[in-house]
């Protein structure tokens, strides 16, 4: 959205809403990586073992399990911020530079130059960042699945 591609939206058939095209590309890449790394098999194994760890008719609530689930949610938010931080900071610096340029030379129409430059710069940043996406995603997915399996162990 920040690099000017927010108007390029696609319909997400699963949720029935419009999403940015770049976000949809990342969603498809992430889903394909998840399937390629065998995450779907591990999730099924975790689901099966969850019936043994937390039986259906057990009405007692394990507070440590709930606290660990909340901690896992905060960890997911932290990872999302880390993944998006590089592109957000790069585009923020670009926008600040164009803001300073517009203040220094008010007779120039900076928006006519800045908008296409931000779009191209944002796509270049995404192209650079996507090269390191696979190892980072592999590490994050492995850590998440190990954490999910450890939640089920008593």
Taken as a whole, the chain contains a residue count of 154
Buried b (16+ CB within 10 A) or exposed e, 119-140: eebbeebbeeeeeeeeeebeeb
For the beta carbon of residue 98, count every other beta carbon within 10 angstroms.
17
Tell me: the pLDDT tens digits for 80-135?
888 788 888 888 888 888 888 888 887 777 777 777 787 888 888 888 888 877 78
SS3 1: coil
Q: Is residue 29 part of a domain?
A: yes
Question: What is the reported pTM?
Answer: 0.60
Tell me: the pLDDT tens digits for 21-73?
777 777 888 888 889 888 888 888 888 887 777 766 665 666 777 777 788 88
Q: Is residue 21 part of a domain?
A: yes
Q: Is residue 1 part of a domain?
A: no
List CB contacts of 113: < 8 A, sequence separation 6 or more.
98
Report the domain count for the chain: 1
Q: Is residue 18 part of a domain?
A: yes
């Amino acid at each position: 959205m920040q690099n000017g591609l927010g108007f390029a939206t696609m319909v997400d058939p699963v949720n029935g809403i419009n999403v940015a095209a770049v976000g949809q590309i990342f969603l498809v890449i992430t889903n394909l990586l998840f399937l390629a790394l065998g995450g779907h098999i591990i999730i099924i194994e975790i689901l099966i073992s969850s019936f043994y760890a937390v039986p259906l008719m057990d009405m007692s609530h394990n507070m440590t399990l709930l606290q660990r689930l909340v901690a896992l949610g905060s960890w997911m938010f932290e990872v999302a911020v880390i993944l998006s931080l590089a592109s957000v900071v790069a585009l923020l610096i670009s926008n600040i530079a164009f803001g300073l340029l517009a203040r220094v030379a008010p007779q120039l129409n900076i928006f006519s130059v800045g908008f296409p430059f931000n779009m191209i710069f944002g796509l270049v940043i995404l192209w650079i960042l996507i090269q390191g996406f696979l190892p980072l995603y592999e590490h994050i997915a492995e850590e998440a699945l190990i954490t999910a399996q450890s939640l089920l162990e008593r």
